[in-house]
Amino acid sequence: MDINRHPLISVIIPTYNEAATITETLEHLRPWNNQLEIIVVDGGSNDGTSKLINQGVKLIQAPRGRASQMNAGASLACGEALLFLHSDTRLPHDFLRQIESSLSDSSIVGGAFKMKIDHPGLFFYLTSLGSNLRAAVTGIYFGDQAIFARRESFFKIGCFPPIDIMEDWEFSLSMRKAGKTVLLPGPVKTSARRWLLHGKWRTTWLMHKIKVLYLLGTRPADLKKMYSDRR
Mean pLDDT for the chain?
93
Question: Per-residue DSSP letters for the chain?
Answer: --TTTS-SEEEEEEESS-TTTHHHHHHHHGGGGGGEEEEEEE---SSSGGGGPPTTSEEEE--SSHHHHHHHHHHH---SEEEE--TTEE--TTHHHHHHHHHTSTTEEEEEEEEEESS-SHHHHHHHHHHHHHHHHH----GGG--EEEHHHHHHHTSS-S-SS-HHHHHHHHHHHHSEEEEEEEEEEE--HHHHHH-HHHHHHHHHHHHHHHHTT--HHHHHTTS-S--
Identify whether 158 is part of a domain.
yes
Task: State the pLDDT confidence band at 7, using cuts at 50, 70 and 90.
Answer: low
Rounded to whole angstroms, the Cα distance separating 77 from 39 reads 8
Residue of higher predicted confidence among 204 and 4? 204
Per-residue pLDDT band at 169 (split at 50, 70, 90):
very high
Is 231 part of any domain? no
**What's the pLDDT tens digit per position in 102-124?**
999 999 999 999 999 999 999 99
Q: Is residue 210 part of a domain?
A: no
**Is residue 206 assigned to a domain?**
no
- Output the domain CATH number for residue 84: 3.90.550.10
Q: Tell me, what's the pLDDT at 54?
A: 87
pLDDT of residue 229: 47
Domain annotation covers residue 52: yes
- Give the per-residue pLDDT at 1: 38
Q: Which of 84, 66, 81 is nearest to 147 (CA)?
A: 84
Least confident of 52-56, 104-108, 183-187, 211-215: 52-56
Residues 174-196: what's their mean pLDDT?
96
pLDDT digits (tens, 9 = 90+) for 138-155: 999 999 999 999 999 999
- Per-residue pLDDT of 43-62, as tens digits, reads 999 999 999 998 889 999 99
Q: Assess whether pLDDT exceeds 80 at residue 231.
A: no
pTM of the complete model? 0.93
Residue 209 lies in a domain: no
Q: Residue 150's beta-bridge partner residues?
A: 81
Residue 6 has pLDDT above 50, yes or no: no
Domain span at 178: 9-191
Work out how many domains the chain is built from and give that number. 1
Is 139 inside any structural domain? Answer: yes
Is residue 204's pLDDT more than 50? Answer: yes
**Structural domain contains residue 205:** no
pLDDT attached to residue 226: 85
Mean pLDDT, rounded, for 161-185: 97
